[in-house]
Structure 1
């Protein structure tokens, strides 16, 4: 099972503040951290201390809160891969330090060697001041970076025993097969270093790409509540993790605790709505929205997914006898069961004539006319 054990990093607090300029208060971050702990998230990426001294103070507060409450969740902070930022991250008290590094494709070999040499100084600085620190380096971005640069960077970091190497599809333009091929290739270079998957949703592929990155050999996964993040966001916490759990990957996240999950998502959605006047948790949200239990074709009316309290049926030209019966029973409409075929036929005919689905009173009238 070891090679199927996935470390889950919830980036709602850090990446989430890049979603349309959201700003989480201290109280909101503490509440979100409490949700993450209850749901058994492995790592909370709590913020970006180099942005401002207040950000550093908030990360320190979250770290203290987790320690005081004896939480199992680990608190991480992110910054640039420099000694200056490393010093700021260490002052917050976090033991998980996440750095990002962007190397341009036109970089010369000499310049690349210098960048990696400077990076090594940062790594050594952290290990000197915090020997047990867990270090993650994000190399941006695998969808656009030169393969040779990526291979050299991954090999270099693996040789220096970096704990986690994050390989994000920052631009969000990759297809699932491309992510699989890229990550599978780079995993051979990574050796004992864990590869972390971070996929953006610009083309709507974040969840699929995240799953394929894990199938290709990734062992860490970066997600957020409702997928909020820069531009169109990143992979959604619940749905992505659940899909992998269903394929026997070992993820601590308690996806069975639907009460807490729905409360977490509703809480984040309320913050989003307050600041943007638009919801991200809506009718069409996967699993948590009501749309997953709405049916027109009877063959689909299984009601297997989602948290909606009851199934909803819409009757138009595509409905069948089975779905009509379900609708009539659900609505408590009295009907002659021997007339189901005729009821269904009349519903279809009226739907064609009106050019829309039928309303409840119209269906009721058809059933009553055939008693």
Structure 2
């Protein structure tokens, strides 16, 4: 059944509920920066930034956020969780310059009885006392019905009796949490629909958790049932399995339910990166919207379809989030994947050279090496300058290196059909390799020329597992010659460059003696 388009508020609780993630504690400065980005850049409607009476650092952060919010026109958008403690939480919030309290009440009879040791009537009296005091001090009051999902299931009479007692109390939002993330979409729709039908004049927020991985689906059900606001966090931060992902919720509500939202999607990834850095909780590479790999096509057939007609593109485009699509290079790459990357680099190669480069990419991918667009110029340069000389072949190589220990190299070589098993030692792995090669090549009246220069680099912005390019300048008597090697291991990159100079010189020697 189609849902009529309407405006849905997004309330981000990264700075309150998200901070209940194991091991996450934002500094006051980090909280202020995240709050500013959420309201000013991403344009969420409301943010919940702290729990009252937690610490002096928390109070400092909330005070700074409230001061900034008032100056920038976001007064009323900053909310703080408070407790049913009459004056204490309200006064704490007022001292920070706050204007909204989200009052935590018990939404299930079991919580009320076993955690508070009170009857519903006693708890209701305490709630109304705190609400009245907050309203008298000009605070806006929202109310959480903690554990509402279980309360509705196990003690619906308690829930309705509590709502009947509070519905005329001047509360702005009734916030219905699935505190333990136990609901399914059908259960959310049924229970939320009942609440909206029984209390049509009230505004209901939905506060989901993701314990069953259903948080986003449950948001859809709640909105379909009549929720006017949804709570979420950046990067799914939150206790246990976390809360609903802000990125997922925003995109699903817009794309799948045609809802109207305030947020500016182009800042979603920037906020995700900020929270990732401040929280220390890494985002999965395949996380929807914000993951590093989600706009990367790996299979060559997908790249081919995009090249011929955008066949593997959808409404969920990277450009919406200030990102770009990429085409992975590896053993599953095809011609189209390579062409897409060449277009990005503005490099033009002949069909023959494209085949050579693709063969090298597939070979590297087969050895489980990660290849990026930044690696591609190294691979191209290496392939294009390579000749098919096979006078010397490295069949096997084992190199050891250690601190304050001499390095060793054990090699199996094929030199013009002759097999050599040889070892060498030296000051470092490459030096040990050269020693071993020179021992083998004595039988062929050849010595590796001395080095005039040796340069190693990785792609700009590369990682420690990036491909390494080694360019060696050789002193070949009357001239200097350069060869290049490309490998994930810098010693083996140098070895590849060495094998090239040997093959080139052996080829020339063979031609001169022919």
Normalised-by-shorter TM-score class: 0.7 to 0.9
- In the TM superposition, residue 228 of structure 1 has moved relative to its aligned partner by 0.8
Q: Greater shift after overlay, 31-40 or 306-315?
A: 306-315
Q: Using the alignment, how far apart are the partners of 2:69 and 2:33 within structure 1?
A: 12
Alpha carbons 1:154, 1:189 under 8 Å: kept: no
8 A contact 1:48–1:56 mirrored in 2? no
Alpha carbons of structure 1 residues 95 and 253: separation in structure 2 relative to 1, 3 Å: same
| 1:81/1:191 CA distance change after superposition, 3 Å | farther
Q: Structure 2 residue aligned with 1:123, among 131, 141, 145?
A: 131
Are residues 1:11 and 2:21 paired? Answer: no
Among 242, 246, 250, the alignment partner of 1:241 is 250
Q: Measure the CA separation in 1 of the matches of 2:234 and 2:176.
A: 20
Could you give the per-residue CA deviations for residues 25-79 of structure 1, whole angstroms, max 9, x where no partner exists? 1211111111012221211212112222432332122111211233366111111
Q: 1:248 to 1:155 in 2, by over 3 A?
A: farther
Matched, 1:286 2:288: yes
Report 1:23-38 matches (<5 A). Answer: 23-38=25-40
Distance 1:264 1:57 in 2: 22
In structure 2, relative to structure 1, the CA distance for the partners of 1:152 and 1:334 (3 Å cut) is farther
Residues 95-147 of structure 1, C-alpha deviation per residue, up to 9 Å, x if partnerless? 11101112553467x921221122111111111121xx321111121332132
Asked if the contact 1:165–1:193 (Cα under 8 Å) also holds between the matched residues in 2, the reply is yes
The CA distance in 1 between the partners of 2:69 and 2:278, in whole Å, is 22
Consecutive unaligned residues of structure 2, counting only runs of 5 or more, are 306-310, 343-348, 384-514
Determine the C-alpha separation between the residues in 2 that align with 1:165 and 1:92: 24
Q: CA deviation at 1:250?
A: 2.1
The CA distance in 2 between the partners of 1:329 and 1:22, in whole Å, is 43
Q: Label 1:140 to 1:249 Cα distance change in 2 as closer, same or farther (>3 A).
A: same
Distance 1:3 1:72, change over 3 A: farther
Aligned to 2:277: 270
- Indicate the SS of the match to 2:150: coil
The residue number in structure 2 matching 1:136 is 142
Q: What is the alpha-carbon distance in structure 2 between the residues aligned to residue 44 and residue 241 of structure 1?
A: 15
Partner in structure 2 of residue 43 of structure 1 = 46
CA distance in 2, matches of 1:15, 1:358: 37
Tell me how far apart the structure 1 counterparts of residues 227 and 173 of structure 2 sit (CA, whole Å).
10
TM-superposed deviation, 1:355? 12
Matched, 1:261 2:268: yes
Tell me by how many angstroms 1:315 deviates: 7.5
Rg (Cα) greater in structure:
2
Q: Classify the secondary structure of the residue corresponding to 1:125.
A: helix
Contact 1:225-1:237 within 8 A present in 2 as well:
yes
Tell me if structure 2 keeps the 8 A contact 1:37–1:72. Answer: no
- The total of aligned residue pairs comes to 340
Relative to total residues, which structure has the larger strand share, 1 or 2? Answer: 2
User: In 2, distance between residues paired with 1:293 and 1:63?
Assistant: 37
- TM-score normalized with structure 1 length: 0.79
Q: Structure 1: which 5+ residue stretches go unaligned?
A: 274-278, 341-345, 365-371
Question: What is the CA distance between 1:313 and its match in structure 2?
Answer: 4.6
Which structure has more relative contact order (CA 8 Å, sep 6+)? It is 1
Aligned to 1:67: 70
Alignment deviations for residues 185-243 of structure 1 (CA, whole Å, 9 cap, x no partner): 11122332210111111111112212221121111111111121111210111220222
Contact 2:10 2:46 survives alignment (8 Å): yes
1:188-203 equivalent positions in 2, closer than 5 A? 188-203=197-212
Q: After superposition, give the CA deviation of every residue in 1:155-179 in whole Å (9 maximum; x if it has no partner).
A: 3322334210011011012111211
What's the CA shift string for 1:263-315, capped at 9, x where partnerless? 22111101122xxxxx4323112112233223436377326533553332577
TM-score, L = length of structure 2: 0.59
Write out aligned runs for 1:1-371 (5 A): 4-38=6-40, 39-71=42-74, 74-83=77-86, 84-106=88-110, 111-130=119-138, 133-145=139-151, 146=154, 147-246=156-255, 247-255=257-265, 258=266, 260-273=267-280, 279-295=281-297, 296=299, 298=302, 301-302=312-313, 304-306=316-318, 308-313=323-328, 324-332=334-342, 334-335=350-351
In the alignment, the residues of structure 1 paired with residue 211 and residue 29 of structure 2 have an alpha-carbon distance, to the nearest angstrom, of 30
Q: Single out whichever of 294-303 and 22-31 deviates more from structure 2.
A: 294-303
Q: How far did 1:2 drift? A: 11
- Could you tell me how far 1:262 is from its partner in structure 2? 2.2
